[in-house]
């Protein structure tokens, strides 16, 4: 693609919103072209506002990933859904992500209804089309069009990348004309230490079942680069709510904790391009998800 004339360059905030687990973070990573947001098969994975930047010759997309909307049981979840709604309201373009399936899920319908409250340009991305038979997509698109009359509808697969070019074109059309806001080499607003924290948290989603990941936060105790810059030392504390959760995370003979550390280290070494020495601890902070001060501190 040739560079656009400076006065026709487009740039703006693009919110990726929707119910939890529909693939918002997977989509963000695909659109940015590298992993900036953690992904898991479980709901309520994303807890922060995460900016990912896509640099094209004619536009810069400032993509905002956020927690998914869900029934906010408990303080932590209330904080997550409130944050998501703040992210949605500040966008230039709202991309509502829903899931393809035999019919629209109740949570997706509720999100489409919520989209009507926002005034900005709207796009509905019907994600996970790789999972369904082609003829089932049209009725879903028609339902979306009925619910949100002013939205463009684009079926996609964030996993395979199908139709993402089309999604990007539609988003660009709605972006305001203005110069790029972010420098060319920048692809996220997260620091390397935040990325490290998040990757550790992601591995916990894969290693422990049931409620454990939802009761877990990761706190960095050390993040230092050795003077010659070759080795990064990371020490982190995994905070859980109960003794039983601590036992689960550590596992028999410390095996589960070791595996969490190993997979986090391997992925971070590839992402950050450095050798890493990682130490993990587990600490119980009784019912931290119910304490507003601790929720603020441990999700900051
Ligand atoms: N088959 C298929 N699976 C997908 C697709 N996109 C995402 N997924 C899967 O859906 C699950 C949830 O993906 P996430 O990207 O974490 O979803 P999210 O909307 O960010 O979830 P929260 O942060 O919890 O709200 C993961 O197992 C993904 O691999 C897709 O296009 N096709
Ligand atoms: Mg997510």
Distance (Å, whole) CA 11 – CA 54: 10
- Exposure of 104 in the CB half-sphere (CA atoms within 13 A): 25
| Residue 6, pLDDT above cutoff 80 | no
The per-residue pLDDT for range 226-264, each reduced to its tens digit, is 988 789 999 999 999 999 999 999 999 999 999 999 999
Closest CA to 258 of 292, 281, 227, 228: 281
Domains of the chain: 6-174 (3.40.50.300), 192-298 (3.30.300.20)
Ligand closest in space to the Cα of 132? 1
For the segment 213-224, the average pLDDT, to the nearest whole number, is: 96
As beta bridge partners, residue 96 has 17, 124
Give residue-wise pLDDT tens across range 42-66.
999 999 999 999 999 999 999 999 9
> What is the residue-averaged pLDDT of the chain?
95
Q: Which pLDDT score is estimated for 127? A: 98
Question: Best mutation site among 38, 39, 42, 129 for ligand 1, i.e. most ligand atoms within 8 A of its Cβ?
Answer: 39
**At 101, phi and psi to the nearest 5?**
-175, -175
Give residue 72's pLDDT: 79
Ligand nearest to the CA of 44: 1
Indicate if ligand 1 lies below 6 Å from the C-beta of 20.
yes
Mean pLDDT value of segment 218-225: 96
Quick one: which of 223, 224, 225, 227 has its CA closest to 198?
Answer: 223
Q: Is the Cβ atom of 26 under 6 angstroms away from ligand 1?
A: yes
Residue 213 CB–ligand 1 contact under 6 Å: no
Q: Residue 5 — pLDDT band, cuts 50, 70, 90?
A: low
Look at residue 299 in the predicted model and tell me its pLDDT: 87
pLDDT of residue 228: 82
77 CB under 6 A from ligand 1? no
Helix axes 255-272, 192-207, angle to 10 degrees: 140
pLDDT value at 120 more than 70: yes
Q: Is 29 in the pocket of ligand 1 (CB under 6 A)?
A: no
Q: Is the Cβ–Cβ distance between 95 and 17 less than 8 Å? A: yes
> Which amino acid residue places its CA nearest to atom 8 of ligand 1?
23
**Which one-letter DSSP state was computed for residue 57?**
S
Sheet with 231-240, strands from edge to edge, namely: 217-225, 231-240, 275-284
Going by DSSP bridges, is the β-strand pair 93-99/50-55 parallel, antiparallel, or unpaired?
unpaired
Does residue 4 carry a pLDDT above 60?
A: no
Q: Give the rounded percent of residues in the chain with a pLDDT score beyond 90.
A: 91
Say which ligand is closest to the CA of 97: 1
- Does the pLDDT of residue 2 top 80, yes or no? no
Q: What is the pLDDT of residue 66?
A: 97
- Evaluate: CB of 45 within 6 angstroms of ligand 1: yes
Quote the pLDDT of residue 1.
44
Distances in whole angstroms, Cα of residue 145 to Cα of each of 86, 92, 108, 123, 125 = 25, 20, 13, 10, 12
**Residue with CA closest to ligand 1 atom 26:** 41
Ligand 1 within 6 A of CB of 24: yes
In angstroms, what is the span from residue 80 Cα to ligand 2's centroid? 11
pLDDT confidence of 211, banded at 50, 70, 90?
A: confident
CA-45 nearest atom, ligand 1:
24
pLDDT in tens, 148-198: 999 999 999 999 999 999 999 999 999 999 999 999 999 999 999 999 999
Helix (H, G, I), strand (E, B) or coil at 125: strand
Please compute Rg for the chain using Cα positions.
Answer: 20
Interval 282-291: pLDDT, tens: 999 999 999 9
């Amino acid at each position: 693609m040739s560079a656009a004339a400076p006065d026709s360059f487009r740039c703006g905030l693009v919110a990726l919103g929707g119910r939890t687990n529909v693939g918002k973070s997977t989509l963000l990573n695909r659109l940015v072209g590298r992993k900036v947001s953690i992904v898991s098969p479980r709901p309520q994975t994303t807890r922060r506002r995460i900016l990912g930047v896509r640099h094209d010759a004619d536009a810069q997309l400032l993509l905002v990933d956020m927690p998914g909307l869900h029934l906010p049981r408990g303080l932590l979840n209330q904080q997550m859904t409130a944050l998501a709604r703040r992210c949605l309201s500040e966008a230039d373009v709202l991309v509502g992500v829903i899931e393809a399936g035999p019919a629209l899920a109740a949570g997706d319908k509720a999100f489409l209804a919520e989209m009507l409250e926002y005034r900005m340009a709207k796009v509905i991305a019907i994600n996970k089309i790789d999972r369904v038979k082609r003829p089932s997509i049209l009725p879903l698109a028609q339902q979306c069009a009925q619910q949100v009359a002013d939205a463009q509808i684009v079926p996609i697969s964030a996993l395979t990348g199908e139709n993402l070019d089309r999604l990007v074109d539609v988003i660009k059309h709605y972006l305001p004309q203005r110069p790029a806001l972010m420098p060319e080499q920048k692809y996220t607003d997260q620091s390397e230490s935040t990325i490290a924290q998040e990757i550790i948290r992601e591995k916990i989603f894969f290693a422990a079942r049931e409620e454990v990941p939802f009761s877990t936060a990761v706190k960095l105790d050390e993040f230092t680069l050795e003077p010659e810059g070759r080795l990064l030392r990371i020490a982190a504390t995994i905070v859980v709510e109960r003794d039983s959760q601590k036992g689960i995370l550590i596992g028999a003979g410390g095996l589960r904790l070791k595996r969490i550390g190993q997979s986090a280290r391997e992925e971070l070494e590839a992402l950050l391009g450095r050798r890493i020495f990682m130490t993990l601890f587990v600490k119980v902070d009784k019912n931290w998800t119910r304490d507003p001060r601790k929720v603020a501190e441990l999700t900051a």
